[in-house]
Chain A
């Protein structure tokens, strides 16, 4: 079992999930529209004042991503469970973590696509101009998304196969997401304002540590979750 074999398995699982999604597109459409809808609701809740909208923009973007993205993760197992395809997938030779890594990549692409729509819409709705440090912003978004999708994909492996899966996933996931939410929102806000006192660097490092810790932990213990 070389790394090349593992990578091929990871790619196969990811491509399979993405192909299924590309052919139906139902998940992507629904989740993206939900994200935009959450942004609209935030707009109504916060009122039309330009200044307060701008201040709340990063928080609203992340909550929109969290609330809509959480619906995507159960789906990524649901298709297989409905078709009775999870057991055959587990029976294939090779390491179990590659299934997780493949689904993780597919979900990253999925949530990335949702963000591609939701974030520009948020910039328009909340009157935020594209910041000078847009590259760093993208980096923060990527780090936050990796943390979110890692744990989302991981917990969905359990919640999708239990009762009340719609409630269980956010209950498990959101308390774990607090460092991601804080880190991403604070780093983005400080980059937007160009305010050095809020120290975006420290938050980016924390996001990096979070991603590494939970990526490693999820890959290590995924086998325990999927084998029962």
Chain B
């Protein structure tokens, strides 16, 4: 509890940090637009997919960054359980929000690509299916947070749920792969023609910057909300020390 209030005292450095994060967000956005322009202008249509292949430029980086967000949730949760700082819990929640968005984007783009390419919106292919499971785990994590009112309890519980979810990710992936052994070659710069790799890399970096910006933004606003709540509590209790526990 204390750490959040102490952070309110350091509001001045926060303002300059905000400028820095805005720069990151703007840079990400500019890079994203530039990468699309570059990709559309330079990379030739794919032999099989034609220009549908361009969906990959956002689809694949979104999937990568969703995994990164999930990793961030797991690390922040672990750190919360270790140190007990409420700020780590808010960081995990912010990463989970962005991760859910990116996972949803990955699924939606995959479907838009799958319909004209495979002729179907959905197939029970391992990577698709485990991404969908990941999406549901993010959703359950965020719903749990809305159902618990006490801040400490919410933090403790969601840290545990986040960690167990992270433990389950490799098991889900393995089991779904065994279930459906038809493999889809994974996209990486290695499996692609060189004309596609640079737009893909640029998009990956752009989305990573945007993700970092979004997580930082949500994190900051969560910290502010928390601080405001505590100050309101203190005010209501006429500034009694420890009033924030009410």
Find out whether the CB atom of A172 lies under 8 angstroms from the CB atom of B140. Answer: yes
Find out whether the CB atom of A203 lies under 8 angstroms from the CB atom of B178. Answer: yes
CB of B156 within 8 Å of the partner chain: yes
Known A168-B143, A178-B172, A228-B156; 5 more pairs at CB < 8 Å: A182-B175, A210-B171, A213-B171, A221-B164, A224-B156
Chain A residue nearest to B178 in the complex (CB)? A202
Chain B residue nearest to A179 in the complex (CB)? B175
Min CB distance, A88 to chain B, in Å?
A: 19
- Select which of B140, B147, B175 is within 8 A of A183 by beta carbon: B175
Docked Cα-Cα span, A178 to B168, in Å, equals 10
Give the dominant DSSP class at A's interface: helix
Give the dominant DSSP class at B's interface: helix
Chain B residue nearest to A202 in the complex (CB)? B178
Give the number of A-B contacts (CB < 8 Å). 85
Nearest 3 interchain pairs by C-beta: A179-B175, A175-B136, A228-B153
CB of A209 within 8 Å of the partner chain: yes
CB of B157 within 8 Å of the partner chain: yes
Min CB distance, A75 to chain B, in Å?
A: 18
Find out whether the CB atom of B156 lies under 8 angstroms from the CB atom of A217. Answer: no
Q: Which of A21-29, A53-61, A96-104, A158-166 contacts B (4 or more CB under 8 A)?
A: A158-166
Q: Which residues of A contact B157 (CB under 8 A)?
A: 158, 162, 225, 228
Find out whether the CB atom of A176 lies under 8 angstroms from the CB atom of B147. Answer: no
Supply 14 A–B pairs (Cβ within 8 Å), ascending by A: A158-B157, A168-B143, A168-B147, A171-B140, A172-B161, A175-B136, A175-B140, A175-B165, A176-B168, A178-B175, A186-B178, A186-B179, A214-B164, A217-B163
Find out whether the CB atom of A175 lies under 8 angstroms from the CB atom of B144. Answer: no
Q: Which residues of A contact B165 (CB under 8 A)?
A: 175-176
CB of A206 within 8 Å of the partner chain: yes
Min CB distance, B181 to chain A, in Å?
A: 10
Min CB distance, B125 to chain A, in Å?
A: 14
Contact with A along B160-193 (1 / 0, CB 8 A): 1101110110011011101100000000000000
Find out whether the CB atom of A182 lies under 8 angstroms from the CB atom of B140. Answer: no
Is the interface on chain B under 10, 10 to 19, 20 to 34, or 35 or more residues? 20 to 34
Is the interface on chain A under 10, 10 to 19, 20 to 34, or 35 or more residues? 20 to 34
Find out whether the CB atom of A172 lies under 8 angstroms from the CB atom of B144. Answer: yes
CB of B111 within 8 Å of the partner chain: no
Q: Which of A158, A186, A202 is the most central at the interface, judged by chain B CB atoms within 10 Å of its CB?
A: A158
Min CB distance, A90 to chain B, in Å?
A: 14
Docked Cα-Cα span, A214 to B161, in Å, equals 12
Min CB distance, A164 to chain B, in Å?
A: 6
Q: Which residues of B contact A225 (CB under 8 A)?
A: 156-157, 160
Find out whether the CB atom of A158 lies under 8 angstroms from the CB atom of B144. Answer: yes
Q: Which residues of A contact B204 (CB under 8 A)?
A: none
Q: Which residues of B contact A218 (CB under 8 A)?
A: 164
Contact with B along A139-172 (1 / 0, CB 8 A): 0000000000001001100100011100010011
CB of B81 within 8 Å of the partner chain: yes
Chain B residue nearest to A222 in the complex (CB)? B160
Q: Which residues of A contact B148 (CB under 8 A)?
A: 158, 162-163
Docked Cα-Cα span, A109 to B143, in Å, equals 30
Q: Which residues of A contact B233 (CB under 8 A)?
A: none
Q: Which residues of B contact A228 (CB under 8 A)?
A: 150, 152-153, 156-157
Docked Cα-Cα span, A183 to B172, in Å, equals 10
